[in-house]
Amino acid sequence: MSRKIYRIICTSLLLQLFFIGFISAQSEVRVPRRSLRAQHEGFAAAYQNLIDGDSWAHKGKGALPKALSYYLKVYEYNKDCPELNYKISLCYFRSDSKAKALDFLKAAYLKDPLVGKDILYLLGRAYQLNLDFDKAVEEYNAFLLSLNNRQKRRLSDMVNKNIEECKAGKELVSKPKRVAIKNLGDAINSSFDDYNALLMHGDSAMFLTSRRPYKRKRPNKVNYMFDENIYFARSKAGNWDKATYLDDGDFNSKRNDAIVWVSEDGNTRYLYDGFRKNGDIMVSTMKNGVWKHPKKLKGRLNTNASETTMSITQDGNTLYFVSNDTRESIGGKDIYISNRKQNGKWGRPQNIGSTINTPYDEESVYVKPDGKVMFFSSKGHNSMGGFDIFRSEKDAGGNWSKPENIGYPVNTPDDELFYRPSNNEKIAYFSAMRPDTHGGYDIYKVIFLGS
């Protein structure tokens, strides 16, 4: 492995660790009593709300909306406390209202430029999310100048990656695609994460994965989020019925269950079981009107790594999937290919290669039925930030073309995932966090209007 590739992989890991650190930063940046106190009246209640907010923030990402509600109560008491503004901004960074982080960061920086070691970096990221790419680059460069030599060796690649995203973003935003993007509404989406829409029967039926609570299940202890479950909905004259919990087989259990693929005839379902090893793909088929219990795919596809999203060609013989298997990974999560043998088992997976995979994460692979066009999400290539959606075509020799960013405003500096084109190529569905979400990731429909 070359030194350059090694450094890029380290950068990818740093980016992940940096954003995981948002949660711990909320406890590292304390709000001193003297900094919070604005007046005697109301101080005791405000301080108790601060304690309650910190307590919720410690529980994990799923508890951040509750933490934010307490911090905003404190904010009503004192809007000028820099540490409080910093904490509020971190909550917004992990929410579907990321753009709101900017005002609180600016307020914190104005009162105390040293309120957090990473505040210049966070300002850069906040400006990037608000499409102010020039200002974002300015803040990223200021952050680099603030680092000592040891810190620069650790963080410069990460920050330079953000700067490259801003350059890509500026170019993509200058040439927006003519599209209409619509949230599918509260029949499909909830106030929790909803994603990976799998369409069937001419877009008249949909499977999706959701983290909404079911039968008052408690959030898990890892990140205080509800476990995944599978839902199903039907459409009538373009209007979606309410998505309902899938209970026509052993598909939903007491742990994480996600649906990752459905055969064209609807009689085979592929599932993600997050409980097995680090996550395996399972399969269930219908026989005599009854669904069989999901079983592990036959062959060498599942490993001790995490196998997540997948796509199968129409002939059923070629399977593409995402894995973080470090033995063959170019970096982070990569896309792999496996071919079905004559005995029905899946052959040894192969990394699809560096044309598609980057030292950063790839996710949400989808290959059209004929196997000639691939859509996937990536943090690499010319992403404008987070996961962007890319398109690649296979030539007559079996080689994939250089991935093309499908453009703004489908892609933004935030995450866009699970792109699923309809039978009508001008229509597709994807998942994202946007200002009009019902909460967390929502499923959107995009219509391409042409040039």
Closest CA relative to residue 15, chosen from 418, 354, 353, 385: 385
Q: For residue 128, what are its two tokens?
A: 């990037």
Q: For residue 304, what are its two tokens?
A: 């001790």
- So what's the pLDDT on residue 384? 97
- Cα separation, 264 vs 66, in Å, equals 42
Q: pLDDT means per 10 residues in the chain (451 residues)?
A: 42 42 54 90 95 94 95 96 96 91 97 94 97 98 95 93 98 97 96 94 90 85 90 90 87 81 87 70 87 82 75 91 86 92 89 96 94 96 97 94 98 97 89 93 94 68
- So what's the pLDDT on residue 303? 66
CA 9, 10, 14, 17: dihedral to nearest 10 degrees?
A: 80
- So what's the pLDDT on residue 296? 83
- Cα separation, 2 vs 367, in Å, equals 31
What domains are there in the chain, each with its CATH number? Answer: 3-174 (1.25.40.10), 179-448 (2.120.10.30)
- So what's the pLDDT on residue 110? 97
- So what's the pLDDT on residue 255? 72
3-state secondary structure the chain: CCHHHHHHHHHHHHHHHHHHHHHHHHHHCCCCHHHHCCCCCCHHHHHHHHHHHHHHHCCCHHHHHHHHHHHHHHHHHCCCCHHHHHHHHHHHHCCCCHHHHHHHHHHHHHHCCCCCCCHHHHHHHHHHHCCCHHHHHHHHHHHHHHCCHHHHHHHHHHHHHHHHHHHHHHHHHHCCCCEEEEECCCCCCCCCCEEEEEEECCCCEEEEEECCCCCCCCCCCCCCCCCCEEEEEEEECCEECCCEECCCCCCCCCCCEEEEEECCCCCEEEEEECCCCCCEEEEEEEECCEECCCEECCECCCCCCCEEEEEECCCCCEEEEEECCCCCCCCCCEEEEEEECCCCCECCCEECCCCCCCCCCEEEEEECCCCCEEEEEECCCCCCCCCEEEEEEECCCCCECCCEECCCCCCCCCCEEEEEECCCCCEEEEEECCCCCCCCCEEEEEEECCC
- So what's the pLDDT on residue 238? 80
Torsion 205-208-211-213 (CA) sign = positive
pTM reported for the whole predicted model: 0.91
- Cα separation, 54 vs 91, in Å, equals 11
- So what's the pLDDT on residue 281? 85
Q: Say which residues have a Cβ less than 8 Å from residue 447's Cβ, sequence separation at least 6.
A: 179, 180, 181, 182, 426, 427
